[in-house]
Amino acid sequence: MTGTDIPILHLDDDLVAVHKPAGLLVHRNAHAGREPFLLQLLRDLLGRRLYPVHRLDRPTSGLMIMALSPEAAAILARQFAAHEIRKAYMAVVRGFAPEAGVIDSPLKSESGAEAAALTEFTRLDTAEIPHPTGPHATTRYSLVRVVPRTGRTHQIRRHFAHIRHPLIGDVLRGDGRQNRFFREHFGVHRLLLASIELEFIHPGTGREMRLSCPPDQELLDLFKLLGWS
């Protein structure tokens, strides 16, 4: 993969917005070896230093922003830390989720301390397919729009597992039978979670910004197979 494979959605003097592919690391880590990562690819493409201000997990795809100066990074980081930036995601979960809801359940950090965590969601569509993956003759799924109001580690995955609607492709807290079914039946080997919207105050102009992007083509193809327009 090269930087030209990363779709750039917005670029100005203060920040760049990109569509991160699923499976791509944002930063280098000790286990990745010489594997390419997003910061390096964008640095090589733009010829500029970049300053990350938030993160997307490796298996999550979609919209992500990075600052192009320390000053812009500090302003955006403060907005993220204060939960002033509105983020929206799209996910596929097991079962028929409620039409809308709020998951208000504290989550433990790696240190073991509990922190408040709040996730809002709206069900966009459902699918029921005649392939049993358990005791029932059919299997049900929901497409949900998710707005996390806090930013805890793996919050969306942990919260939907908590209400027994785990995300498809979640290997840590998901349903192994469902994940295997999606690999074998649809050829999908990934977490079905995509960042689709960000609303924030531009660090240079002070204006309200709303950036959005559709899910990638692999997800759109899957949605079509499930009957979701």
**3-state secondary structure (DSSP) of residue 217:** helix
Burial 4-43 (b: 16+ CB within 10 A, else e): eebeebeeeebbbbbbbbbebbbeeeeeeeeebbbbebbe
Among residues 5, 57, 175, 216, the one annotated as catalytic is 57
- Provide the phi-psi class of 98: left if phi over 0, else alpha when psi is between -120 and 50, else beta: beta
Whole-angstrom distance, CA of residue 208 vs CA of residue 174? 36
pLDDT at 30: 56
Residue 90: closest CA among 14, 143, 167 = 143
Active site residue 221: no
pLDDT at 70: 97
Domain ranges of the chain: 3-225
Is 197 in contact with 87 (CB distance < 8 Å)?
A: yes
Q: In CATH, what number does 3-225 get?
A: 3.30.2350.10
| pTM of structure | 0.94
Is 9 in contact with 18 (CB distance < 8 Å)?
A: yes
pLDDT at 145: 98
In the block, residue with structure tokens 């298996």: 59
pLDDT at 112: 80
Residues in Cβ contact with 212 at an 8 Å cutoff, skipping those fewer than 6 apart: 63, 196, 197, 198
Q: From the first residue on, what is the mean pLDDT of each consecutive set of 10 residues in the chain (229 residues)?
A: 84 97 85 79 94 94 97 97 96 98 92 91 97 87 97 95 97 94 95 98 97 96 94
